[in-house]
Amino acid sequence: MGLAVGVLKETAPGERRVALVPRALEALASLGLQIWIERGAGIEAGFPDSEYETRGALLAGSADEVREHAQVLLAVQVADSPGLGAQHTVIGLCDALDNPRLAAAIAARGASLFSLDLIPRITRAQSMDVLSSMATVAGYKAVILAAESLPRMFPLLMTAAGTVPPAKVLVLGAGVAGLQAIATARRLGALVSGYDVRAAVKEQVESLGARFVSITLDGAGAEGEGGYAKTLDEEVQRRQRDQLAEVMREQDVIITTAAVPGKRAPLLLTSDMVRVMSPGSVIVDLAAERGGNCELTRPGERAVEFGVIILGPVNLPSSVPYHASQMYARNLVAFLRNLIRDGELRLNLEDEIVRDTLIARNGEVVHTKVQALLETVVHA
């Protein structure tokens, strides 16, 4: 019997995505893999058991049955389980730089662990880039949430009852989520501006029909490893906030997307800055899960401060589970193609993709950054 891959029901609260969609099974079968699916794993994402079965998957009545038959376990959000053992390799999102204890727990069970959060930003790994895929979904959905909450319409309308001016939308952060938010707000007819500490993204913002907001940071280097924005020092952040406050007065919607991997989200909007916005304005903070870009954000909640509506959504991709699962599954299949040769799992530790995503192996945490974080936790 060849290598078996298993998909379990997601157990994280509110998680509706599934790691594999039925359409992905054909690609895995071509790699010589047997696929086990826990019954009901894809229901909330819109994929019934019958579709998996039609495409050749074997259905299991429980998570334990999947773990009994499958050596490779695929997840959206990785969870620890007493059923994990040395025969298992777990692949999924585990936010290892923020939650190193989960990695340590899985390593203690002898299982191997790959964290898709750590896919390197290199050309060869673009088809595996789960974070970019999910950021695309989040950027789109953020605008939909803003449009639903704003007591105004987004587009310019010329009617017999008079002209309705377009809503003004400011997107802070021009990474994948920010650019998708800009594009979506433009499609809805808003007058859109974008800002990022990385001046190099100005052309991308303007190519989507938005105005790039220029803020002087006295030449502070703002681009870090892998093309991500890096954390600015406090003085530079203060100058940034002072200049942003002037721009904010004119905005109906602000969408914040700034995040630095493995660190708390940078504070972009203080309470005093929110105070200058007009009542009924909306802030959507996509960094809510990492502490928020807005001082007044409450993760997972809707707050109203100074008449401004502040949304702190968490796990937005899960709110669009059908397409989010499709995109995630494509990334996962590409990742598996890089690991599997002749129907077997073969780890080339010289491969940058394998090396950067491998967190645990042979009962130990092997990723140097996660090791360092665990040492910090132990000595804290």
Residues with a catalytic annotation lie at 121, 126, 129, 132, 228
CA 291 to chain centre: 15
Provide CB contacts within 8 A for 335, sequence distance 6+: 91, 114, 116, 119, 128, 353, 357
- Measuring CA to CA, which residue among 355, 360, 361, 379 is closest to residue 370? 360
Q: Kindly write down the DSSP assignment for every residue of 231-300, as one continuous string.
A: PPPHHHHHHHHHHHHHHHTT-SEEEE----TTSPPP--B-HHHHHTSPTT-EEEETTGGGT-SBTT--TT
CB 172 within 8 A of CB 366: no
User: Which burial class, exposed, middle or buried, applies to 233 when counting CB atoms under 10 A from its CB (0-12, 13-18, 19+)?
Assistant: exposed
Q: Kindly write down the DSSP assignment for every residue of 115-175, as one continuous string.
A: EGGG---SGGGGGG-HHHHHHHHHHHHHHHHHHHHSSS-SS-EEETTEEEPPPEEEEE--S
User: Which burial class, exposed, middle or buried, applies to 223 when counting CB atoms under 10 A from its CB (0-12, 13-18, 19+)?
Assistant: middle
Provide CB contacts within 8 A for 308, sequence distance 6+: 274, 277, 278, 279, 280, 281, 282, 283
Q: Which residue has the tokens 């967190």?
A: 359
